[in-house]
Chains A and B, each alone.
Chain A
Amino acid sequence: MDYLIQIVPAVAAGLKITLQIFVITIVLSLPLGILMAVGRISKIAILRKTMYAYIYVMRGTPLMLQILFIYYGLPFIIDGFTLPAFPAAIIAFVFNYAAYFAEIFRGGIQSIDRGQYEGAKVLGMTYIQTMRRIILPQVVKRVLPPVSNETINLLKDTSLVYILAMNDILRITRSIVQRDFDTTAFLVAAVFYLFFTFILTKVFGYLEKRYAVYDE
C-alpha cells in the first residue's frame, strides 16, 4: 500500500504529456480530417489525387516511423531544421490521425443520400452551404462510432512518444519498474489508461444519445 502511494503520483506526473498530446491531436486532426475528406472527394483532380496519395502514405507507414522521421529525418531534408521533441510529436500525430479521420469522414460523406444534395440545391444552397448545413451534421452522427474507436486508439498511441524520450505515463512507468524490479507500476498505468478510456466511452455515448433524437 505504501508502495502504491509512492508510485501513483510519480506515474501521474506522466499524465501531462499524455493528455497534452491527446487533446492537441484531437482538436487539430478532426477539423483537418474533415477538410481532407472533402478534398479527397473533390471534383478537382489534383486535389483529390494529392489527398489520396497523402492518406495512402500516412496510413501505410507506422506512426512510430513518422515520429522518428519528423524528429531525426527533417533536419537532413531541410538543412539544419530541428524541432524540439514535443512539436515534432504533435506534428506526426496530427498529420497521421487526420489521415485516418479523413477516411472515416469520406465514408460518412459518401453514405449520405444524393437526394440530400439535390434537395439543398433546388433550394438555392451553394456547395459549401450544403456541406456545412446539410451533409456534415448528418455525417457526424454516422461517424461517431468509428471516431470513438479511433480516439481511444489515439489515447494509447500517445505512448509512442517514449521514443523521443518524452516522459508520458508509460515511459515513467517503465523506468519505475526497471528501478524497483516490481511490476506493480504497470497495473497503475493500466488503470490510468482505463480510466480515460472510460471517460471517452461516456462522452461518445452521450453524443450518440444526443444525435439519436432523429432517425434517418
Chain B
Amino acid sequence: MSFIEMDHIRKSFGNLEVLKDVSLHVEAGEVVSIIGPSGSGKSTFLRCLCQLETINSGSIVVDGKTMASTPAGSQRAVYAPAADVRAICRRMGMCFQHFNLFPHMTVLDNILEAPRVVKKMKTEEIMPQAEELLKKVGLWEKRDTYPSRLSGGQQQRVAIARSLAMDPDIMLFDEPTSALDPELTGEVLRTIQQLADENMTMIIVTHEMAFAKEVADRVIFMADGIIQEQGKPEDVFEHPQNERTQSFLQSMLRF
C-alpha cells in the first residue's frame, strides 16, 4: 500500500470535466513532479488532495486512512467525517503560486499563527522551531518584517517555512515559482531541493522543466484531464513515448 493513493479521481466544474479518471500513488519520501500545459488539470488534482476542491468520484487514501471513497455502483464520492478529513489534511502542507501569506502579520507571526491557533501551542513552545525554520530558509533576520516588504522569492520561502511549522508529512507545491521573477526562482527551488534531500514526500506542480528533472523521482505529464505519461525524469524528458508529451516538451524547449 502506498503512502498516498488517489484513484479514479473525477472532477468537474459545471459542465467542464477537468479530471477524467486520474490515478496516482505516491510512496513515502518520493518526490513527484506534475508537468503539463495550463488547463490540463494538474493544479486541480493537487487541490483535490488537500481538500481545496472536493472530488466528484474516486477515492483518496493517505497513510491507510480513507479521506474519500466512491461506493461500488455509485457516481458520487463519499467523504469521511469532517474531523477525520481535517486530521488527514493536517498531515499535508501546501504552498501556492501567490504565497497567500497573511499580510497583516509579521513574518514570524505568519509562522507562529497556525501552531498557536490550530495546535493551541504557546508562543514559547513554538519559538525554537520557528527560529530553526526561518534560519533554514535564510529569513530569520526578516522575522519582524511584513510580507509586503519582501521579494516574491522571500515570500515563498516564508510560506514554505509556515507550512513546515505544522510538521507535515507531505508537502504540496502548486506552481511555487510561476509568480516569481526569473532571478528569484533559484532560491525557492533550492529550498524545495533541500526538503527533497531530507526525504520529504512531495508533489510539485511546476513549469520549471529543469527543476522537475533534477528534483523529482518521478515525472507525471498531464494534459486534457488525464495522465498522458509518467516515469523517471530521464525517460519522460529524453525519450517521451506519448505524442502529447513530445509536442509539449518541444514547445517548452523552443524558448
A residues bordering B, Cβ < 8 Å? Answer: 113, 115-116, 118-125, 129, 133-134, 137-138, 141, 213-216
Min CB distance B113 to A, Å, is 7
Min CB distance A9 to B, Å, is 46
**Known pairs A115-B96, A118-B52; A125 contacts B104 (CB<8 A):** no
Residues of B within 8 A of A138 (CB): 102-104
* Those of B101-151 within 8 Å (CB) of chain A: 101-105, 113-114, 117-118, 146-149
Min CB distance B80 to A, Å, is 16
User: Which of B87-95, B205-213, B221-229, B238-246 lies on the face that meets chain A?
Assistant: B87-95
Any chain A CB within 8 A of the CB of B163?
Answer: yes
B residues bordering A, Cβ < 8 Å? Answer: 50-52, 86, 89-90, 92-94, 96, 98, 100-105, 113-114, 117-118, 146-149, 159, 162-163, 166
Q: Is the CB of B103 within 8 A of A125?
A: no
Q: Is the CB of B114 within 8 A of A123?
A: yes
Residues of A within 8 A of B113 (CB): 123, 133-134
**In the docked arrangement, what's the CA distance between A115 and B118, Å?**
19
Min CB distance A1 to B, Å, is 52
Q: Which residue of B lies closest to A214 (CB)?
A: B146
**Known pairs A137-B104, A138-B104; A215 contacts B92 (CB<8 A):** no
**Known pairs A125-B118, A215-B148; A119 contacts B86 (CB<8 A):** no
Min CB distance B65 to A, Å, is 16
**In the docked arrangement, what's the CA distance between A66 and B127, Å?**
54
Residues of B within 8 A of A115 (CB): 96, 98, 100
Q: Which residue of A lies closest to B47 (CB)?
A: A118
**Known pairs A118-B52, A214-B104, A215-B103; A125 contacts B146 (CB<8 A):** no
Q: Is the CB of B118 within 8 A of A129?
A: yes
**In the docked arrangement, what's the CA distance between A215 and B148, Å?**
6
Residues of A within 8 A of B100 (CB): 113, 115-116, 118-119
Q: Which of B52, B94, B98, B146 contacts A215 (CB 8 A)?
A: B146
Q: Is the CB of A124 within 8 A of B52?
A: no
**In the docked arrangement, what's the CA distance between A213 and B145, Å?**
10
Q: Is the CB of B52 within 8 A of A122?
A: yes
Q: Which of B92, B96, B148 contacts A118 (CB 8 A)?
A: B96
Min CB distance A149 to B, Å, is 22
**Known pairs A118-B52, A129-B118; A124 contacts B89 (CB<8 A):** yes
Residues of A within 8 A of B103 (CB): 138, 214-216
**In the docked arrangement, what's the CA distance between A141 and B96, Å?**
24
Since A115-B100, A120-B102 are in contact, a sample of 17 more A-B pairs with Cβ atoms closer than 8 Å, ordered by chain A residue number, is A115-B98, A116-B102, A118-B94, A119-B100, A122-B89, A122-B163, A123-B113, A124-B86, A124-B89, A124-B166, A129-B118, A133-B113, A133-B117, A134-B102, A138-B102, A214-B147, A214-B148
Residues of A within 8 A of B102 (CB): 116, 119-120, 134, 138
Min CB distance B105 to A, Å, is 8
Residues of B within 8 A of A134 (CB): 102, 113
**In the docked arrangement, what's the CA distance between A214 and B109, Å?**
13
Q: Is the CB of A122 within 8 A of B94?
A: yes
Q: Is the CB of B148 within 8 A of A123?
A: no
Q: Is the CB of B96 within 8 A of A213?
A: no
Residues of A within 8 A of B89 (CB): 122, 124
Residues of A within 8 A of B92 (CB): 122
**In the docked arrangement, what's the CA distance between A138 and B113, Å?**
15
**In the docked arrangement, what's the CA distance between A202 and B109, Å?**
29
Residues of B within 8 A of A215 (CB): 103, 146, 148-149
